[in-house]
């Protein structure tokens, strides 16, 4: 791991603590399996007193294996006490689990790939959103319901804040609108001022991790690029696994 690139930032993790953060997965269970193996190997090679594992949301949609991603995250939640954040795609799926009318919007975000991963595909041209809703409820495992119940909108550790999309500048962290945390783009991305904490986020795809003075974006569009980004934060150093 010593050959991996690293950067220093004006923020620090707690003493004797290493934070692993993983970008948007979007149904790429193959890449997630590789990343979790790298995390486990890094911990074996470089022992540290405390480790924190954070997944930044958008586990589902677009890629082919959303169900398997959820299976893998369920294991990490239990075995590693991983922190799983809510992405906008999870929020839309939560909406569909409550209301079949959300299907049309979810389809635009890659929801049909998620349904297919659970074995729920259109059988014929006469099936309705209500039909798919009922079949999805039947196919959605209890373990995945528990994962959804564990999702957080934000997580702080030391000087770092982990969110899916970003924060609204100049609004205290305790007063942030949850919708901003999972949906915001330009107002946050264009802000060059320091926030209460250094922000680690995804949501807006970038060709490579984008480090700014006040934030880092690690959404490298894994579902289409084949690159799932994981960083390890220790002290003020960000290491790219």
Determine the pLDDT at residue 122: 78
Q: Tell me the HSE value of 31 on the side-chain side, using a 13 A CA sphere.
A: 24
Determine the pLDDT at residue 4: 60
Other residues' Cβ atoms within 10 Å of the Cβ of residue 88:
19
Determine the pLDDT at residue 7: 87
CA 199 – CA 25 distance, rounded (Å): 19
CA 198 – CA 160 distance, rounded (Å): 5
CB crowding 29-68: b at 16 or more within 10 Å, else e: bbbbeebbebbeebbeeeeeeebbbbbbbbbbbbbbbbbb
Q: What is the pTM of this model?
A: 0.94
Contact at 8 Å (CB) between 172 and 196? Answer: yes
CA 48 – CA 137 distance, rounded (Å): 41
Q: Can you say how many angstroms the Cα of residue 53 is from the centroid of all Cα atoms in its chain? A: 11
Determine the pLDDT at residue 2: 40
pLDDT tens digits, the chain, 241 residues: what are they?
344 688 889 899 999 999 999 999 999 999 999 999 999 999 999 999 999 999 999 999 999 999 999 999 999 999 999 999 999 999 999 999 999 999 999 999 999 999 999 999 877 777 899 999 999 999 999 999 999 999 999 999 999 999 999 999 999 999 999 999 999 999 999 999 999 999 999 999 999 999 999 999 999 999 999 999 999 999 999 999 8
- Counts for the chain of helices (H) and strands (E), in that order: 10, 11
Q: Tell me the HSE value of 66 on the side-chain side, using a 13 A CA sphere.
A: 25
Extract the tokens encoding 175: 């007063």
Contact at 8 Å (CB) between 11 and 234? Answer: no
């Amino acid at each position: 791991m010593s050959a991996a690139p690293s950067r220093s930032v004006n923020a620090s993790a707690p003493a004797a603590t290493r934070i692993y953060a993983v970008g948007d997965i979007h149904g790429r269970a193959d890449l997630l399996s590789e990343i979790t193996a790298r995390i486990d190997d890094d911990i074996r090679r470089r022992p540290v007193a405390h480790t924190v594992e954070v997944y930044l949301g958008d586990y589902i949609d677009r890629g082919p294996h959303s169900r398997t991603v959820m299976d893998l995250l369920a294991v990490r939640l239990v075995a590693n006490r991983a922190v799983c954040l809510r992405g906008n795609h999870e929020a839309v799926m939560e909406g569909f689990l409550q209301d079949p009318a959300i299907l049309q919007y979810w389809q635009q975000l890659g929801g049909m790939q998620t349904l297919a991963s659970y074995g729920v595909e259109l059988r014929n041209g006469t099936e309705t959103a209500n039909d798919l809703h009922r079949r999805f409820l039947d196919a959605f495992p209890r373990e995945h319901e528990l994962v959804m119940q564990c999702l957080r909108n934000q997580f702080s550790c030391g000087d770092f804040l982990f969110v899916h999309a970003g924060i609204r500048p100049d609004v205290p962290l305790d007063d942030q609108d949850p919708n901003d945390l999972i949906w915001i783009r330009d107002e946050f991305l264009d802000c060059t001022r320091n926030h209460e904490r250094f922000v680690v986020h995804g949501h807006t795809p970038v060709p490579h991790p984008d480090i700014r003075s006040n934030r880092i974006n690690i959404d490298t569009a894994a579902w289409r690029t084949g690159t799932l980004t994981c960083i390890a934060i220790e002290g003020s150093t960000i290491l790219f696994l």
